[in-house]
Amino acid sequence: MAMLTAKFCAPATGVRSPAGARRSAPARRATLVRAAAGSYADELVSTAKSVASPGRGILAIDESNATCGKRLASIGLDNTEANRQAYRQLLLTTAGLGEYISGAILFEETLYQSTTDGKKFVDCLKDQNIMPGIKVDKGLVPLPGSNNESWCQGLDGLATRCAEYYKQGARFAKWRTVVSIPCGPSALAVKEAAWGLARYAAIAQDNGLVPIVEPEILLDGSHGIQTTLDVAEKVWSEVFFYLAENNVLFEGILLKPSMVTPGAEHKQKATPEAIAKHTLKMLRRRVPPAVPGIMFLSGGQSEVEATLNLNAMNQAPNPWHVSFSYARALQNSVLKTWQGRPENVEAAQRALLARAKANSLAQLGRYTGEGESDEAKKGMFQKGYTY
């Protein structure tokens, strides 16, 4: 991994530190990083540790209103604020959820919503020791000069938004950008993704939010697992170079990587053991042990696949908390059980707890996959999927 050397002004002639010697480069960088994180440094570390706690992971329900509408349409519901609120109330008021879930990523609308009884969703989460999080990016747009690739917008006004989200109760943030293997990826797209993530991370920390760093390497393509590994190593090398250049506090971030798998259209699927081997190889080569948590995205895998692969990665101790930050792989069974009917809410909440518990066991390396339904084994990959 490339290492960054910071430049410092030379001290005046004859001036020495109290210890009588110049401080080491790592010590100087540590001072800069703590200063960059400001008065929130200790809180950031504490928040990241809370989210990366044993047997727990993240429930991602930060879909945009348009994407949430597609989910609701799949069960015959209109995309109205009332229906979105009802679905998210079902999720966030599930009793016992905090046993398996440590954080919930919300869309802006949800951060400011309350239950039908008037209780803020943020307070519903806090009552179960679940950290509220917030999606802060503004989505993907075409990247000029690239090979039909994208970049993530949203840096303009980000500091102001983060400060407001913190006041509302959010304590971590998410910024998702993507890298496409069939499109190259070009050096321009990789650098743009890494730089944008680093600037976002620095701004989030400066405003008290633990940044989730998410350069999603899309499943699209027919490439093999080695190609994914090569691209993932390149992407994460760039990401950590620019995180360091922006003086981001590594102990106060969380990562949300893709698992290293073959492309979705590859002729042969990889076993959980092979996916675990390649993914952990990439992480050990690129991710410093100072990072507290690796919270994998599911990326269109089936509910069972995502859980089996996570379990395979937790069969031996890791330098970081290796867990989950799943959306579809936690919600698919819930939606199909609920069907928008009030009488199905409790059954849908039981379905959520079952999936959350399965992934909790996987985080602890104890998941077996026994008793899973055929529905939970169905893949959810969609070519060109957008949030």
Catalytic residue annotation: 214, 256
Rounded CA separation 291/111 (Å)? 26
CA–CA distances in Å: residue 33 to residues 150, 245, 271, 330:
30, 10, 40, 35
Q: Please list, in sequence order, all residues whose beta carbon lies within 8 angstroms of the beta carbon of residue 207, skipping any fewer than 6 positions away.
A: 40, 159, 162, 163, 166
User: First-to-last CA distance in the chain?
Assistant: 31
Coil, strand, or helix at residue 358?
Answer: helix
Of 364, 370, 371, 258, the closest CA to residue 306 belongs to 258
The residues near 139 (Cβ < 8 Å, ≥ 6 apart) are 64, 152, 153, 154, 387
DSSP notation for 263-299 = -TT-SSPPPHHHHHHHHHHHHHHH--TT--EEEE--T
208: helix, coil or strand? Answer: coil
User: Which amino acid is present at 216?
Assistant: E
Which amino acid, residue 355? R
| Contact in structure between 307 and 329 (CB atoms under 8 Å) | yes
Instruction: Find tokens 């507290």 and name the residue.
Output: 292
Question: Whose CA is closest to 194, among 241, 148, 233?
Answer: 241
CB atoms within 10 A of CB 97: 21
Paired with 105 in beta bridges are: 60, 133
**What is the gyration radius of the CA atoms in the chain, in angstroms?**
21
Distance CA 109, CA 134 (A): 10
Residue pair 69/387 in contact by the 8 Å Cβ criterion: no
